Amino acid sequence: MSPKRSSTKRAKQAVRTVPDRPRPGDLLINDPILKTISRAAFALVLLFALLLLWRGHNAPGGGFIAGLMTVCALILHRIANGDSALRVDPVKFIPWGLALSFITGLVPYLLGRPFLKSDYGYLTTALTGEFEWATALLFDLGVYLVVVGAGLALAYALIEVKPTELVEGDG
């Protein structure tokens, strides 16, 4: 009887609104070490993501993976600096990405070939040597945009949630 009562009592003490204590997510914001590292990491990860997107057709990579990686980079930036690296609402990427993917599919259909039939060819320029272009890249770019938009929208929405109560054992 008595331990039970004491435990509820303790829980009651623990449950309280916390305006004064920093939230767990806040702990890392403006942390100098993280901030410095994140700057380099952000650029590197972003570059690598674009590389993955670019080479996806022939080597491991692709729009989905690149999108996820970009999301990671942006979340890192957000956590380290406390603000978004993008000037636009990430949700806006979603319709553009969908439209791009859909239109890449629609174009071959309108030209009398199956919907989403991809085309490719080779181009040789002095700068790059022989290089392959594929309409699939555009489709992948659409996928990339949707994934970035969706992932960031999720993450930002959750970051902005303000915890109203904290209980012992957290953070």
Partner 1 sequence: MTLAVLFPLLMAAVCGLLARPLGRRSGYLAALGFVPALLLAVPLAGNSVEAGGTPLAQVTNWVPELGLNFAFRGDGFSLLFAVLIGVIGALASLYSVAYLSPHERFGRFYPYLLLFGGSMLGLVLSDNLIALFGFWEMTSVTSFLLIGLWHTRSEARDGAIKAFLVSALGGLGLLAAVALLSVAGGSTLLSELDLEAVRASPLFVPALLLTLLAALTKSAQLPFHLWLPTAMEAPTPVSAFLHSATMVKAGVVLVAKFGLIFGSSPLWSGIIVPLGVATMFWGSWRALKQTDLKALLAFSTVSQLGLLMALYGLADAEGRFAATTHLLNHAAFKAALFFVVGIIDHETGTRETFRLSGLRRKLPLTFVVAGLATLSMAGLPPLGGFISKELFYEAMLHAGPGFIAVAVIGSALTLAYCARLIRIFFGDFRAPEDDGGRLLKSEIHEAGPGLLLPPALLAGAALLFGVLPASAEWLARRAGTALGFAGYEGHLELWHGVTPALLLTLLTWGLAALLVWQTARVYFLQVHLEFPVSSNRIYRGLLIGLETLASRLIAGTQGLALPDQLRITLAAAGLMGGYAVWRAPQVFQPLEGVPLSTLPIAVLLVAGALGVLLSRNRLTAVVLTGLTGFGSAVAFLAMRAPDLALTQLLIEAVTVILFLLVFRSLPGFRSLPRGRTRQIIDVGLAGAAGIGTTLLILASLRFLSPPISPYYLENAYKGGGGKNVVNVLLVDFRGWDTLGEVMVVAMVALAVGSLVRLGRRGEARSENDTAPTLPDLLDLQERRP
Where does this chain bind partner 1 (CB under 8 A)?
Answer: 15, 23-25, 52, 56-65, 68-69, 71-72, 75, 91, 94, 97-98, 101-102, 105, 115-118, 120-121, 132, 134, 136, 139-140, 142-143, 146-147, 149-151, 153-155, 157-165, 167-171
Find out whether 150 and 95 touch, Cβ atoms under 8 Å: no
36 vs 16: CA distance, rounded Å: 35
Residue closer to partner 1 by CB (options 47, 167) is 167
Residue closer to partner 1 by CB (options 83, 170) is 170
Nearest distance from C-beta of residue 170 to partner 1, angstroms: 5
> What does the block give as tokens for 51?
């590389």
Residue closer to partner 1 by CB (options 43, 117) is 117
Cα distances (angstroms) measured from residue 168 to each of 7, 14, 15: 12, 6, 8
The identity of residue 32, as a single letter, is P
Find out whether 138 and 104 touch, Cβ atoms under 8 Å: yes
Residue closer to partner 1 by CB (options 37, 167) is 167
Nearest distance from C-beta of residue 31 to partner 1, angstroms: 16
Nearest distance from C-beta of residue 130 to partner 1, angstroms: 13
Nearest distance from C-beta of residue 52 to partner 1, angstroms: 8
Region for residue 129 given its phi and psi (left: phi exceeds 0; alpha: psi -120 to 50; beta: otherwise): left
- Residue 69's φ and ψ, nearest 5 degrees, are -65, -40
106 vs 118: CA distance, rounded Å: 11
Find out whether 78 and 169 touch, Cβ atoms under 8 Å: no
Nearest distance from C-beta of residue 149 to partner 1, angstroms: 7
